[in-house]
């Protein structure tokens, strides 16, 4: 059954959401991310996708204190992304309490370092971030669009040992217009052994059931929660169904 992963994006220590990754389209939902995380946990959710938007922009981990606060006050399994560029960044994130890392830009900018981390920490702890816009990989806080096709990108990295991939369609992210179901379906058909986490634009609970049907392993849900399009009670129900199926 699909794993539901609620998202918290951080700017200046506050819980925010952007539209299409545009920092000028920022909306603050809560000034205390720990409160938000506790509410997720109270509804039976076990995972958390935590993004350091300041870190992504500044190319270094900035909001590590938020990881520390959430990990010390909840039992949520945190996967963290944003600004991880060096060994020091990686150590800070793991030492602050994150259990998994989402690494995107550095996988392209310093491939050798990325695979060093994959070998050292294992394919279950390092998630490859594959952010796309019109099927092309985006890096540097989504500010730079490469000419690398998503399928070619994944083919290369999966052959070299990557297991888990978080794929976000930037054009859908934060727009509440539905997710890229066709893209995720295509990727699961082409790479059936890949552990795929889908992200970007998930708006209705029906989409989560559809993602489960096409074999996607996890779904990151953000703005739909904050805007009341999907309730935590609905997510709890899906989580309970997953527990029963295990």
| Residues annotated as catalytic (active site), given as ranges | 9, 131
Domains held by the chain: number: 1
Is 121 buried (19+), middle (13-18) or exposed (0-12) by CB count in 10 A?
middle
Angle between helices 87-96 and 64-73 (to 10 degrees): 30
Q: Could you tell me the CA-to-CA distances from 178 to 33, 171, 200, 223 in Å, in that order?
A: 25, 10, 8, 11
Nearest to 165 by CA among 124, 121, 109, 210: 124
pLDDT, residue 201, reads 93
With a pLDDT cut of 70, the percent of the chain lying above it is 98
With a pLDDT cut of 90, the percent of the chain lying above it is 83
Torsion angles phi and psi, residue 27, rounded to 5: -130, 125
Query: pLDDT tens for residues 134-166?
Result: 899 998 777 788 999 999 999 999 999 999 999
pLDDT at 16 over 80: yes
Which residues, including other chains, have CB under 8 Å from residue 13's CB and lie 6 or more apart?
A: 31, 33, 63, 65, 66
Cα angle 43-47-50, degrees, rounded to a multiple of 5: 115
CATH code of 226's domain: 3.20.20.70
Nearest to 49 by CA among 194, 193, 223, 172: 223
Region of 74 please: left (phi>0), alpha (psi -120 to 50) or beta.
Answer: beta
Tokens describing residue 170: 């930037």
pLDDT at 241 over 80: no
Tokens describing residue 80: 């963290």
At residue 21 the predicted structure's pLDDT band, cuts being 50, 70 and 90, is confident
Find the domain containing 101 and state its range.
3-245
């Amino acid at each position: 059954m699909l794993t539901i992963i609620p998202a918290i994006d951080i700017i200046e220590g506050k819980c925010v959401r952007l539209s299409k990754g545009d920092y000028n389209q920022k909306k603050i939902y809560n000034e205390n991310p720990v409160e938000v995380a506790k509410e997720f946990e109270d509804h039976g959710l076990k995972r958390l996708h935590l993004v350091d938007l300041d870190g992504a922009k500044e190319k270094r981990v900035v909001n590590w204190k938020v990881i520390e606060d959430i990990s010390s006050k909840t039992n949520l399994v945190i996967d963290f992304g944003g600004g991880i560029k060096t060994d020091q960044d990686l150590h800070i994130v793991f030492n602050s309490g994150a259990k998994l890392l989402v690494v995107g830009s550095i996988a392209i900018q310093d491939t050798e370092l990325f695979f060093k981390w994959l070998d050292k920490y294992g394919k279950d702890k390092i998630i490859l971030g594959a952010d796309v816009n019109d099927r092309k990989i985006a890096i540097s806080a989504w500010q730079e669009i490469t000419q690398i096709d998503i399928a070619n990108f994944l083919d290369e990295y999966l052959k070299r040992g990557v297991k888990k991939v978080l794929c976000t369609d930037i054009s859908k992210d934060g727009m509440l217009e539905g997710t890229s179901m066709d893209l995720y379906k295509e990727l699961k058909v082409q790479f059936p052994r890949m552990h795929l986490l889908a992200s970007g634009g998930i708006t209705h609970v029906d989409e989560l059931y559809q993602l489960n049907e096409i074999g996607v392993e996890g779904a990151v849900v953000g703005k739909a929660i904050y805007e009341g399009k999907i309730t935590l009670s609905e997510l709890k129900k899906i989580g309970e169904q997953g527990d029963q199926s295990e």
